Every structure is written in C-alpha cells, then in structure tokens.
Structure 1
C-alpha cells in the first residue's frame, strides 16, 4: 500500500508563526510618518519667527517711547526743561519747577525766617497756676531800627481763649496740653532747667505774620497772669517772628518761610544762611536732559535696525539666511524706518537729523557727532522744531513726530506687527493640526495592521495544529500497514 507523505508545516509570521511583525510595522511607520520631519522643521522656524517678532515689538515700543518724548512740544515737556544752579549751595539752593526763562541772578540773604518764641518765668515743678484765662492773638509786631517792638497788629484770624476753672488741673503740663488742643496757632511745651520748669510758647509757623500776643486774666499776679506776653513791654526771654528777606538782582523780596516761590519764574530757591556777598544763580535750558533724550532715541533706533538687518540678511559666505530673510513685512518695516530717519521737515530752521550731527551709516545705523549736537542745542527751539514741528502735512512734520505716528500704527492692535505675529501663530496652529493628522492616521493604520496580523497568527496557529494532527495520523497509518 502506498505511503502517504506530509507536505511539512505551513509557516507564516507573528507571535505564533515566526514573522517579524514589529519590524514590518516599524518600517511602515517610517514611511507613513516621514512627512512629520518637514512639518517639525517648519514649526521650529515659525516659532523662531514669532519670537523674533516679539523682540521686535518690544524694541519698537522702546523706540516709540523715545520718539514720543522728543515729539512732545508742550512747555512742560522735554524742550521746556530748565536747570537752575547755585554758586553757594550752603546758603542758597535752587530747583526748577516749570517753564522758566534762561538768565543769571544775584541773590543776597539778609534775614532768615523764624517763628516767635517766648519763655515764661521758672516755677517749681508741679506748681498750679490756678483759675484764669489765656487769650492768644496772632499778628505782626512792628519794630524800630534796633529790633525793639513798637506795636502789634492783629491778623485776620480771631483771638482764641483757653480758660481754667477753680480746682481744675493748672500745672504747666496741663496748661500746655490745653493750649495745644485748642488750635491757637501757638505750640506750648514744658522745659525744665536748673531754675525749675518753664512754659515755652512757639508760633506754629514761621514768618512775621505768625507773631502772637498773650493776654491773661486771673486772681493772682503769680498765676495765669505770669504767662501774659506783650513784646513792647516784655523783659524776659523771647524772640520775635520774622520773614526771610533777600534781594534778587537788587530787588528786595521776602517770604514767611525759608523758601521763595514765584520770585524767579519757574524756579524755587531756599535760603539757609545770611550771606556776606551775592550768590550767583544760573537758569538755563536742560541741555543735558535733551542730549540724553536724543541719544536714547538713536540707541532705540539702532537696536531695531540691528535686529531687522540681522534677521533679514543672507550670508553668502556661510550660505545661511536670517530667520526673516525674504519676509516682506520685516523688509518693509526696515525700509520705512530708514526712510523716516533720512526724511526732512519744513517746520523750522533745521531740516534733517544731519543738521544736529546725526548721520546714517551704510548699515543703516545712526551715529551722533557730540560736538555738533551740543552746538545745535545752544538754540533748543530749533532742535525742538526739528523733532516736534506739526506742519499740517504729515510728510513735512518733525522727525520724531513722524516716528511716533508711524510706530503707533505699527504697534496698534491691528497694526503691522500684530497682524504678522497673528498670521505666524495661525500657521503654527495649522502646522500642529497637520502633525496631529499624520499621527492620527498612523495610529489608525497601526491598529489595523496589528488586527490583521493577529488574525493571521490565529489562523496560522490553527493550520499548524491541523498539520501536526494530519502528520501524526499519516505516521500511524504507515506504521499499521507496514
């Protein structure tokens, strides 16, 4: 009888059949996801562009601030800046407070403002002054040539009285406290020395009009009446109030305090010493502040120009392109800024930045000739007009005014920079979605492949089991018939 032969096991792949499914899936993944590489590269470049535009926006904002300061034509702005200096700061200090006219002044100080002070006679600590009334009247003491008081003129404020009833605490401390609480315009305090305690009165403010007179009534001349004060008859320890008195270019002026305001327009000066010779006060335009503002503008412009130049250039030697190379928005911004820097104005005697020593280099940067700028600032009005003149024709306005107007538009919510940044962000978002689609497509493909190979493995396992069974049966048959 013929012998039945087996054809051998059927082979396949997978976990149960020997095929390297993971290798197949890995290679298919490389093919399917190859598109992710250029997408990732585009995303990286777009992020760099967004970052660059963020830096550009910050630099343009700084330039806008610098231009706005130069474009301010108000009297309180940069161009109205004044510096005031004193030739003797120990005696006279000065400060600019607003619009002022340049000039030189000689200030002599003959008298310093002070408050009126009066000290009572000494009494033993704890002494009670008894019942009585003290009446305080503010006003001015008239004096003769020697400084002796000759009369008193009451001020507009009414007299204020402080009364003590019989049995009420009338110690010096209690009297001082009640006077201070009454708002008399006089400050009272208790001073203790080797002779005992004294009540010291001091006018609350300085100046001749802060003088005071004290009237007292009581049953005892040693009580409240001992605190009465009349400078025309007083013999105790006292000092009359007085104004500060000075001369400015020979004109006598006075102040109730040590500070003089409004004497020199736009300048306040404070006196600290009586002088033996005039103190020179010079008032001039703040050219140092103006110079700094111009330098800040140039620095801010150069920072923007440097970023735009670097990011848009192509280096032929290294064959590398800037991140914004061929970016029409960046190229247009650079061109617009350079055109404004080299533009002219019809608003004054100076027509362009070169007139004050600011020149444009080949790379677009601005440089300042310090000497020429200093000479131009000798006439601040001309430099002010160069930067801030409003002519009614924007093409002929001051240089800084042109920059301010243009930069406001560039940096607006819907301006050039924001629009470009938004479009780059939109492109980045779209790129992320494209990458997600590629990944999602491969995830679905991988799942389908694994399902197919799993089914194939199961089938192959079944066929292999059947093959083994058939082989066993053939072997048994051949043995039984052999």
Structure 2
C-alpha cells in the first residue's frame, strides 16, 4: 500500500524510491559485474594454480636419477630364497643352490621328576657363542628349575639367550629346561657347565655331542637325558657353482648390490640332481614406464583444466552471448602454456633420445600427450641408459619444466601476486558498496525532506484556496450557479 502525502495526496515514498533506485542502479550494476568477473577469475586462478602444483609433483618425481638406477631382482623359487637389489647391482643372471639354512642352537637339559624340587645353590656357566659365557649365580639352597629358568631369562635377555620349562605329562621325559639362543652360525652351540653345586645341580651340565652325519640314526638314550634339539650352523649355498656359507640367512655380500634372504633348503631330490634356481637382476624398466605414464596423465590433467578455464561455448545460435571460461585471454595462462610447449618441443641431450617423441610420447591435436606402448617398450629396451640424462640433471627435460613451473607456484610468485590483486579488488568492491549505501541513504533522506516540505506547502495552499472560495462565495451579489 502506497503512502501518500497528507497535503498533496501524491505517492511520496514511491517517487523517492524511484529517484533513489535510478541514482543507485548504474553504480550497483557496475559493482555487481566487477565482483562477478573478479570472483570468477579468482576461482579460475585457484584451479589453475592447483593443477600446476599437481603437475609439478609429477615432474619432481621423474626428475630423480635414482629412479633410473633402480634394479629389479627375481627369484626362480621364492619359497627357497627371496631377493632384492639396489642401484649398485649389475644386471645379470645367476644360478643358486641352497643346501642348509643358518640356524641357532637349542638344547633340552636333563629331565627331573618334579620341576619344583630343590636343586641346591651353586653357579652355572652357559656358553652359546660370543666372548664371555653367561654366569648364573644361585645363592638359594631351595633353587628349583623354575628359579633357574627365571634367573637365565633375566641375565640372558639382552644377549639372546632364553629358557623355558617343558614338562612331559606322562612323566617319561620329566620336566626339563630348554635353552634357546638367537645366535646362529657354526660354533655357537649351547653348552652348560656347573662350576659349583651339589649332585642335583650337576645334572644340568651338558656338552653337545658332535653333529651326526646326515641320515645317521641317533643313538638310543635315556628319555630324561639331555639332548640337542637343533645345532647352531651356517647357511650353506652356492652361486654359479661357487660354494659359500653365512652365519645368517640374510646375505648381502655375495653379489654386489644384491640381498639374498634364504627361506628354506632345497629338497634332497633337487640337491642330488644338482638342480639350481635362477636369480635375475635387471633394470627397473617397469618402474620407469609407470613413472612416464604418471607424467603423461599429469600433463593431460593440466591440459584439461586449462582447456575448461579458457573455453568459449556458443549459446543460442548467432545472436546468443557465448559462455566463456574464467581465464579466457588471460596473459598468465598464455605465457605458461607457451613456455611449457616450448620445453616439450626443444631437444635435450645429445643421445638418441632427444625429445619425447623418441620414446613414443607424442602431442595430439587437442594438446594432450599420448603414449605408443610398443615404441616406448622398444626405447626402454634399446636406450634405457640414456633416459637419465634426457630427463634429469640441470639440462634435463624435467629440470626445464620445473624452472618453468616454479615462478607460478612459489610463494610470492606470479599467481599468488595476481590472487592478492584480485582480493584487493573484491575488498574495493565492498568498500564502494558501503560508500554507495551511505550516499544513497543521504539522498533518500534529502528527497524525503524536500517532498515532505512540498507536501506541507501544498496542503497550506489548498487550505488557503478553500478559504478564499468560501469567502468569495458569501459576498453580497454573488449568484451561485446550480450545477
């Protein structure tokens, strides 16, 4: 409902609003257009910078000489041995035989009827490899197998010696201490001597007998007698017919740059037939190919983002206003793309691999890259040694790309400076809107005041007019005409 003037009957508020809106509309429309364009460009630059950063990560990964120095190592039977190689390894093929694994010593000492029975005080000396035997001092005359076990575990914890009690439920073997060592290799068998102690404690003394020949029948023995569960021994194996041994099952020095981890000995039948297992060391071509595919995917993703930000789409035929991307015609985008294309097109190095096309990586009509797998595989087979020089180093392709990308992504760089400028523009739009609001408010107040004064004046004039009409109509001789 319009609010009319009391004196004039005119829609004062409506007239004031029309004048105020007419004054504010051009500037408000200008600010809206500026804000919309600036916000779109701000968002577009953010997407552009994010896409460049993702591409930069891919470039850094490929700009690493170690990538081309990696080696693959393959075992013909991973259940017998596994293998890995580092950059020192030389490509080649080897024949391996595994006769025995390295193992540590484990012995079961004399069995006793009652594990809680007292064995008396005394001193035990346990040898299991190393410089000094482990001394166990039993001061309590009531020391039992349990006490001795606990004392051994406490003293031998840091030296790789442990003890447990195995108790035969049928009583035939009795309860006995089982000692285990973590020290593998020849000469590290566990032996126990009793320096001081009574007859019961003396029963724990044990010196391992010589290791029987393979296939020999063990001699019959008292079920409670001490015995060897496993002898400490070296791993024994052969590489290309050369016999070798190791105190551990992880072997790092047999082949330069190659680590063998023995898992099990070959079967008796394989050893009798002198069957060997292949070990192959090669260049990590699959890893390099995977990295190249990631590079191509990263570049194409960048091209897709740039394409969407600079695309112009026609709408509604010839008369329609086209839809434009946020960065259409942007100088930073044009400069970046020109530099990137230049880097990809300029030859690098003096070898047979000078440009990406020599690796089967070509540029398509839409600007994206495509890999010809057959050509790439052939290039990896024939020119693998040249790839590191082409991609890495100060003059390599990836270094050139990094130098091109860095000014756009670094702190204080091109895109950050542009983004800050756009932020300032948006802040200025807000300030101008506030200024416009204040100015329009003052204009509205002034117009309302003026129109209200006019309305009051009209009201007074109407009152005067009515008074004069009434006064004149009452004068003598005035004849009123009937309507």
TM-score band, normalised by shorter chain:
0.7 to 0.9
Alignment match, 1:227: 204
1:324-360 residue CA offsets vs partner (Å, 9 max, x unmatched): 2221111111111111111111253311111101111
Distance apart, 1:366 and its partner CA:
1.1
For residues 238-272 of structure 1, give each alpha carbon's deviation from its aligned partner in whole angstroms, at most 9, with x where no partner exists: 12211222112222333333222232333322112
CA–CA distance in structure 2, aligned partners of residues 96 and 432 of structure 1: 63
Query: C-alpha separation between the residues in 1 aligned to 2:44 and 2:187?
Result: 67
SS of 1:133's equivalent in the other structure is strand
- Say which of 451, 454, 462 aligns to 1:453: 451
Deviation string 1:277-333 (CA, Å, 9 cap, x unpaired) is 322121111112111111111111122222223433445676443322221111111
Whole-Å separation in 2 of the counterparts to 1:88 and 1:266: 20
Which residue pairs with 1:198 in the alignment?
Answer: 176
SS at match of 2:418: helix
State how 1:245-264 maps to structure 2 within 5 Å.
245-264=236-255
1:382 to 379, 386, 402: 386
**Corresponding position: 1:369 with 2:372:** yes
Does structure 1 retain, via aligned residues, the 8 Å contact 2:310–2:328?
yes
Cα distance in structure 2, aligned partners of 1:25 and 1:100:
89
Alpha-carbon separation, structure 2, partners of 1:197 and 1:343: 81
Residues 32 and 170 of structure 1: CA distance in aligned 2, closer, same or farther (over 3 Å): same
Partner of 1:217: 195
DSSP 3-state at the match of 1:422:
helix
Alignment length (residue pairs): 442
Offset at residue 70 of structure 1 (A): 1.8
Where do 5+ consecutive residues of structure 2 fail to align?
Answer: 211-220
SS of 1:101 mapped into structure 2:
coil
Aligned residue among 122, 133, 137 for 1:132: 122
Alpha-carbon offset, residue 462 of structure 1 = 6.0
Distance 1:447 1:400, change over 3 A: same
Alignment correspondent of 2:217: none
RMSD: 2.8
Cross-structure match for 1:163? 137
Q: Counterparts of 1:348-367 in structure 2 under 5 Å? A: 348-367=351-370
Deviations 1:107-156, CA, capped at 9 Å, x for gaps: 211111211111122212311111111012233xxxxxxxxxxxxxxx3x
Residue 263 to residue 449, structure 1, CA distance change in 2 (3 Å)? farther
What secondary structure sits across from 1:268 in the alignment?
A: strand
- Normalised by the length of structure 1, the TM-score is 0.84
Alpha-carbon distance between aligned partners in 2 of 1:430 and 1:253, rounded to the nearest angstrom: 80
SS for the counterpart of 1:284 is strand
Quote the Cα distance in structure 2 between the aligned partners of 1:408 and 1:218. 77
Structure 1 unaligned segments of length 5 or more: list them.
Answer: 1-11, 140-154, 391-396
Q: Quote how far apart the aligned CAs of 1:478 are.
A: 7.1
Name the SS of the counterpart of 2:327 in structure 1.
coil
* Secondary structure class of the residue paired with 1:413: coil
Residue among 110, 115, 122 paired with 2:104: 115
Describe how 1:10-409 pairs up with structure 2 within 5 A. Answer: 14=5, 17-34=8-25, 35-73=27-65, 77-123=66-112, 124-139=114-129, 155=130, 157-167=131-141, 169-183=142-156, 185-193=160-168, 194-195=170-171, 196-221=174-199, 223-232=200-209, 236-238=226-228, 239-275=230-266, 276=270, 277-315=275-313, 319-378=322-381, 379-390=383-394, 397-409=395-407
Q: In 2, distance between residues paired with 1:166 and 1:349?
A: 82
Deviations 1:397-445 (A, max 9, x none): 2211110122122212232222222222233322333333323321221
Q: Would you say the 8 A contact 1:138–1:185 is kept in 2?
A: no
